[in-house]
Structure formats: C-alpha cells, structure tokens
Amino acid sequence: MARLIEQFERLPGIGPRSAQRLALYLLRQPEEQSQAFAEALLAARQLVGQCQRCGHLSAESHCNICVNQERNIGIICVVADSRDLLAIERTREFKGNYHVLGGLISPMDGVGPETLLIQALIKRLDPEVVQEVILALTPSVEGDTTSLYLARLLRPFCKVTRIAYGLPMGSELEFADEITLARALEGRRTFE
C-alpha cells in the first residue's frame, strides 16, 4: 500500500493526500481494473516512442501529424515539448508541421543545444520545401535564449518567425506586468 501511494506521489501535481485517495480508490475497485491500469501503463511505455521526423510522441515511426497529407509541410512550428504541440493543436488554427525540441536551452540546468533535437530540425529544412519556421517557445529566459540561438542558426535556410508576446485575451491593461506591457508596446502592429 505504501509503495503504491509513493508511486502516485511522484506524479506531477499529486500531493500525499491525493496519492492516498487515489490508491485507496483503486484498492476498493475490482481487481480487473488494477490489472487493466497496470497493463495500459506498461503497454504505453513500451509502444509510445518518438516520431523519427519531428520528435512528437508516437506509437509508429512517424506521428499522425507528419503522415497527414493535408498538413502544410512548408511551415514548421518549433515547440519545446509535446504538451505545447497539443496546446497549439487545440487552437485548430495551425495547419503546418511541428518539430519538438525536447526542452529549452538552460545553461543553469546544464542543458545545452546539443541535448536538444536541433540537428534533426536542420536536416528537415530543404529550401525548396520549407518556407517558414515559427518558433513557439515560452516567453522566459530559457525560451528567449533558445529562440535567439535557433533564429541565428536557421536564418540561412528559411524565414524564421516567433509567436507574439503581449497581452493575453481578456486581460486588463492596468494589471499587466511591466515587461509584458513593454513587449506589447514594442511588438505593436499596423492595423490592416
């Protein structure tokens, strides 16, 4: 019992109390459910790997976005990890392809460019196919460092853009922090 609680506690966002509640719940359910849970866990771990092209989670050698013929292969959106990719997919606004770096450059944590999936990205940049790389990284020190590094590296191959930093929807100007407001001003756009 203690071992099961400990395993749950290791998951992000689950504290000791939640872990206990989840473990107790599972023990009260029929045995088949624990069996199904354990099998799903092992199977997922065994079957889900990385897409060999973009680095996204995938059970096949290529993920369902990379094999989708209807997606525009001329635009590659670069994200830090698969969660960010899924967030962008939820907007239903982006019809291009992705590239998942597997993290952000962070010298403080010992993460250098060589540990990220950058060489594979450069190999994808056939100038006859790819017109634009969109850097969709978080607005933070690590995100900015990585964006700057990639922009310099990729510019010889194609146009490099980054997503807009500014006021989020529904926010109040007066409560925005100074850096966000300064960036929103600096990044202003002409009305079309």
How far apart are the C-alpha atoms of 132 and 64, rounded to whole Å? 21
3 near a copy of itself, judged by CB under 8 A: no
180 near a copy of itself, judged by CB under 8 A: yes
Shortest CA distance to 71 belongs to which of 99, 47, 102, 52? 99
172 near a copy of itself, judged by CB under 8 A: yes
Q: Which of 90, 114, 119, 128 binds a copy of itself (CB under 8 A)?
A: 90
Q: Which of 24, 41, 43, 86 binds a copy of itself (CB under 8 A)?
A: 86
Task: Answer yes or no: are the C-beta atoms of 79 and 101 closer than 8 Å.
Answer: yes
Strand-pair partners of 49: 58
45 near a copy of itself, judged by CB under 8 A: no
153 near a copy of itself, judged by CB under 8 A: no
How far apart are the C-alpha atoms of 160 and 135, rounded to whole Å? 7
Query: Beta-carbon neighbour count of residue 178 at 10 Å?
Result: 7
Q: Which residues bind a copy of itself (CB under 8 A)?
A: 77, 79-80, 83-84, 86-88, 90-94, 134-140, 147, 151, 155, 159-191
